[in-house]
A and B are shown apart, each in its own frame.
Chain A
Amino acid sequence: MKRAFRSTLLSTLLVSSMIALSACGGNAQNNSASSPDSGSASPSAGASASASEGGASDGKPVVIRHTMYDTEFTSEMVAEFEKTHPNIKVELVSADYNKLMAMMAAGNGPDIIRTNTNELPGYVLKGMALDLTENFNSSSVFHTDDFYPVVNNFRYDVTSGAQGTGPLYGFPKDWSPDFTIYYNKKMFEAAGIPVPSATDAMTWKEIVELGKKLTVANGKKVSQYGLVYFNGSTAANQDLMNLQLLQQGGSMFSSDFSSADLTTPQVKDLLNFWVDAAKSGVGPSPLHQETDWGGQLFVDNKAAMIIAGYWFSGFLKTNELTKDRLADFGVAPAPMAEGGKRISPTAFGTGAVIYKNSKHPKEAWEVFEWFFGGKPAEDRAKEGYGLPGTKTLAAMLPQTTEFDKLNYDFIQNELQYTEGTLPYSPFLNYQAVNSVFEKYFTPVYFDKDTVDGAAQKMTEELNTLIAEGKDLISPE
């Protein structure tokens, strides 16, 4: 009897301590991402432990929660901010898309929400973003005439459904014109081809032809690709297609994004263009699978040209395999469509919005203003991993080494063409569109389906998803 009681007590203690531990264990894992796909899946069980929200009135510091990465908003930055703002405590909350949505649904959203330019319209439509136009106008840190066009990507007009105009909801942390071309000079020399100009843009056809000349293949085995997209697949995807359509003044969607049509001749031409590119082996694709992303192939000397943004120059400067031979590399403008407008925009400009239902919008703005316009913004500009949102800060980009100067001069020229917003539909999940492309388009590369057939199926599925998305955002 006694023994049974003792062991009962022991097991009860054990279980209650296990339950207590698992309940209190906050999730401090962060998604460290070098790739911009925001939908990476690791659903955490339930929302994170929310800290106490002491009101400013009762003297307790206000807690402002944000979803920036801990590499972006470091603990040193937090300490620096809290020293000069003793009434505010800054807390990091790690939240991927799914966890963020769960927090929204519980009415417990973080005060500052990390937002990519292509996510902004969706967030505004879901009622997550606070209108910050007045804050920016009356701010002493931000000067609206100093803004680059990229800031307009954080504007959205709910009535017309247009991104790029309307109230301002956020600000970029850093951004790059994501479709510029970094190339390996040595491979051009080896093939006896002159390097591309740093100021004049080639067309998409020209760049793929150039890539074919630089591709070194032995039968089906390719030892050197001519042109890779940064994610490691030179094939049709929504980023490249949206860019090409924007340059031609077209779109996969209707003007209010309420329907999709990929069966237009314009879209089908582009799809055929990419099928030919994939089949030619100019870059990795489902037909030529590699195990590395584009950047790794480039530094391993397996790719002659890579479509990547200014951030790639920062990557080359720190990567073990390239930092000592930076003179081998050059950069060329983003390709343009034949007869189209030269546009070299950002696809994944990262910034943030303020939660519409934040309990402390004033304090949230203080943190926001400091992080996106104060000293951290200056420091980011000086590091050279991305461009700032303002012209004054752009003067602080690194210019010391030859490679720095090369990139600086190039970017000053390219900045003339960066105005433009890629037409992603706010009613669709970015990930869902990726899946639709992969599902229906991969068979085309293997000749299991035609471009016409795939375009038809993709149009149907995207329209179904748009209808569902619209219904969820504004149910009848």
Chain B
Amino acid sequence: MIRPAASGTAPALGAKPKRFRGKSFKEAMEFYVFISPWFVVFVLLGLIPLLYGLYLSFTNYAGFNMDRLKFVGFANYHKVFTDNDAMYSLGRTLLITGIMVPLSTILGFLLAVLLNQNIKNIGLYRTLFFIPSIIPVVAVGTMWRSLFVDDGVVNNALESLGLQPVDWLGYDYAMVPLLIMLLWGVGGGILIYLAGLKGVSKDLYEAAAIDGATALQRFVKITVPLVTPVLFFQFIMNIIGSLQIFVQPILLAANSNSLLSLPIRPNYVYSVHAFQQIFAYGRFGYGLALLWVLFIMILVLTVIVFSTSKLWVFYEVDQEGR
């Protein structure tokens, strides 16, 4: 913060000390006042419930024994790592993340590159590709489920081509409808990618073209490096989102008429396991421990990706020095 070289008036004897009258203090006060709406809501409705949940994860809270809670220490957290279901669901979640994050980041980016052209009706195409990501997820899940049932559109299409129908929602192929459904919404990122792509100065392309660079070279040497901040952002956001995936596997379950429906085993993801433990089994403390472990994992992964970012993310404006 820039300190004023000298303040206008000298303080009188007995007046408030300098630091409560200086411009910087007033600026600081204004800062806090302006963020107070968000901050108050965050503390009251976000931070305090989260910390309360952390406290409950060290007890045997079951929803109705609030008046006689027993402190169980790290037992719930120990259970997270010894429970077969928790580790299995974590594995499935990591698998889905490992497939989805690279695919959706790259596909989203390539889609945005294609939509960055100045051809006729480009606005219409951008809208069409963006719409899937804003449709409410329950509608999306119900729709995709009805497409993939035995007598659904997909199997009918396969049969009309002379191929065998596939049991999409059964054990062997259950992840395919899930991945397709998730990738269908990949256009959601084009908004941010387009903003990043527009930020690349056209002069660079012209200069490269004059020097004889091909379209591919221009893409790889100019576009990609200058868009890495956006790619980095999307990469992190996709990781955070993928690890928390919850509603889509439930919507593909048999009898998916409530949030308590159980997805088929290959789609049994970590958040679903936590939800089941809390709301079907009544093990609130254990469920909260599961969720806090997920939070820690996401935090660690995010820090790791951030620390590697120096190697591959290129900022035009120097990030060092304030």
Contact = CB atoms under 8 A, between A and B. Distances in A.
B280 interface: yes
A221 B151 CA distance: 6
B192 to A, nearest CB: 28
Given A4-B30, A429-B282, A435-B276, A220 B64 contact: no
Interface string A214-240: 000001111100000001110000000
Interface string B47-70: 000000000000010111111101
Interface string A267-286: 00000000000000000111
A12 B171 contact: no
Contacts of A286: 170, 254, 264
A419 B283 CA distance: 35
Contact of A104 (B64, B70, B169): B64
Contact of A287 (B151, B170, B275): B170
Interface in A197-252: 219-223, 231-233
B149 A289 contact: yes
B260 A431 contact: yes
A469 to B, nearest CB: 8
Contact of B281 (A98, A291, A435): A435
A292 to B, nearest CB: 10
Given A41-B259, A101-B63, A291-B149, A11 B171 contact: no
Size bin of chain B's contact surface: 35 or more
A37 B258 contact: yes
B63 A465 contact: no
A1 to B, nearest CB: 9
A40 B259 contact: yes
A106 B65 CA distance: 9
B170 to A, nearest CB: 6
Contacts of A350: none
A448 interface: yes
B281 A15 contact: no
B99 interface: no
Nearest to A291: B146
Given A8-B34, A105-B67, A442-B265, A429 B280 contact: yes
Contacts of A15: 36-37, 40-41
B24 interface: no
Contacts of B283: 468
Contact of B149 (A105, A219, A231, A290): A290
B276 A475 contact: no
Given A35-B257, A101-B63, A435-B280, A288 B265 contact: no
A24 interface: no
A379 interface: no
A37 B261 CA distance: 11
Interface string A37-74: 10111110000000000000000000000000000000
A105 B66 contact: yes
B110 to A, nearest CB: 34
Contacts of B258: 37, 39-41
A432 B283 CA distance: 10
Contact of A431 (B41, B169, B170, B279): B279
B150 A221 contact: yes
Nearest to B264: A442
A89 interface: no
Contacts of B275: 41
B145 A465 contact: no
Interface in A423-464: 429, 431-432, 434-435, 438-439, 442-443, 446, 448
A468 B281 CA distance: 10
A19 B279 CA distance: 28
Contacts of A126: 64
A432 B37 contact: no
Greatest chain A CB density within 10 A among B149, B150, B259, B279 is at B279
A431 B65 contact: no
Given A41-B259, A231-B255, A442-B264, A465 B281 contact: yes
B226 interface: no
Given A288-B150, A435-B260, A442-B265, A232 B280 contact: no
Nearest to B44: A19
Contacts of A8: 30, 33-34
Contact of A232 (B149, B255, B279): B255
A42 B138 CA distance: 15
Contacts of A434: 260, 280
Contacts of A289: 149-150, 169, 254
B291 interface: no
A472 interface: yes
Interface in A78-105: 98, 101-102, 104-105
A250 B64 CA distance: 31
Contacts of A7: 34
Interface in A344-363: none
A103 to B, nearest CB: 9
A43 B260 CA distance: 12
B264 A293 contact: no
B165 interface: yes
11 contacts: A11-B36, A15-B41, A18-B41, A41-B259, A41-B260, A102-B66, A105-B67, A289-B254, A435-B276, A439-B262, A442-B265
Given A39-B260, A105-B66, A287-B167, 19 more contacts: A18-B37, A39-B258, A42-B259, A102-B63, A107-B67, A221-B165, A222-B151, A223-B151, A286-B170, A289-B254, A291-B146, A429-B281, A432-B281, A432-B282, A435-B262, A435-B281, A439-B265, A468-B283, A472-B60
Interface of A: 4, 7-8, 11-12, 14-15, 18-19, 35, 37, 39-43, 98, 101-102, 104-107, 126, 219-223, 231-233, 284-291, 293, 429, 431-432, 434-435, 438-439, 442-443, 446, 448, 465, 468, 472, 475
What 6 A-B pairs come out closest when comparing CB atoms?
A: A105-B66, A15-B37, A101-B64, A101-B63, A431-B280, A438-B262
